[in-house]
Amino acid sequence: MKICIAQTQSLKGKVHENIQNHLKVIEQAIKLDSDLIVFPELSITGYEPELAKALACEVNDEIFNPFQALADQHGITIGAGMPTKAKDNSEGINISMLIFQPNKARLVYSKRLLHEDELPYFVSGHQQPFLNIQGKKIALGICYETLQRAHFVNAAENNADIYIASVAKPDRGVNKAFVHFPSITREFNTPILMSNCVGYCDNFLSNGQSSVWNNQGELMGQLDQENQGILIYDTDLEKVDQFPLAPAITYTQAS
């Protein structure tokens, strides 16, 4: 199996423009025979808590039909970040990953463990779906919760073979990840893949460095701090290849 980790930059709140960028990245992943591609946290809107309520929608919104079409036509599973309306809370908004699987109903994974800074804007999700692709069970986590031991323990107790972290992290968060993830991979003998974004998010600069660690905690591949790119992790060959994408969007934090 080939897993594609995308490192992308999003325009603040520009859903349609960001979807077009996603589709280009997915098409590149398809050319490289990827079976799964995962994008950073809230990748379709950018990590913008103050805009989340206005931008939130449902996974079955027709604007996401192109994702499902690519999944169906090419046998690829796609995980992209989007705020969604909480089903059990009419006013609540979830930080979610929309999951498009070939010829299956769409899934939503909503972040279960929120940082205290997120509590004024979001509510927690409740369910933890797992992906089963080519005999591998894949656990998903979203940013803050991926650094909480309990979240990974839950994945391990459910016999996950691989753990993927979809994040939006500045320099300090990336530094924490580079301590936590190798330790966890060694303890649980489970590879971890991290998809981070680049560019400004909310009130911070996301620091990229999307990475793959094997089950011994060894860093197998890493992207830089500024540019869009993808990592392809081949689970059969135990190797990682990296590929550049179009240059990251240039704009200021205030724009």
pLDDT tens profile 133-184: 999 999 999 999 999 999 999 999 999 999 999 999 999 999 999 999 999 9
Question: What is the average per-residue pLDDT within 46-73?
Answer: 97
Residue 91 is predicted with a pLDDT of 79
Q: What percent of the chain has pLDDT over 90?
A: 92
Query: How is the chain classified by DSSP, letter by letter?
Result: -EEEEEE----TT-HHHHHHHHHHHHHHHHHTT-SEEEPPTTTTT-S-HHHHHHH-B-TT-GGGHHHHHHHHHHT-EEEEEEEEE-TT-TT-EEEEEEEE-TTS--EEEE-SS--GGGTTT--------EEEETTEEEEEEEGGGGGSHHHHHHHHHTT-SEEEEE----HHHHHHHHHHHHHHHHHHT--EEEE--EEEETTEEEE---EEE-TTS-EEEE--SSS-EEEEEETTTTEEEEEE-SPPP---TT-
Question: What is the average per-residue pLDDT within 126-132?
Answer: 91
**Whole-number mean pLDDT of the chain?**
94
Q: Considering the domain boundaries, does residue 100 fall inside one? A: yes
Q: Considering the domain boundaries, does residue 127 fall inside one? A: yes
Residue 249 is predicted with a pLDDT of 59
Q: Considering the domain boundaries, does residue 48 fall inside one? A: yes
Residue 247 is predicted with a pLDDT of 74
For the cut 60, the answer to whether the pLDDT of residue 254 exceeds it is: no
Name the domain count of the chain. Answer: 1
Q: Write out the residue range of the structural domain in which residue 76 sits.
A: 2-244
pLDDT digits (tens, 9 = 90+) for 205-219: 999 999 999 999 999
Residue 252 is predicted with a pLDDT of 44
Reported as a pLDDT band with limits 50, 70 and 90, residue 248 is low
Question: At 152, which CATH number?
Answer: 3.60.110.10
Residue 127 is predicted with a pLDDT of 86
pLDDT digits (tens, 9 = 90+) for 3-36: 999 999 999 999 999 999 999 999 999 999 999 9
Residue 253 is predicted with a pLDDT of 42
Which pTM does this prediction carry?
0.95
Q: Considering the domain boundaries, does residue 254 fall inside one? A: no
For the cut 90, the answer to whether the pLDDT of residue 52 exceeds it is: yes
Angle, helices 171-188 vs 149-157, to 10°: value is: 30
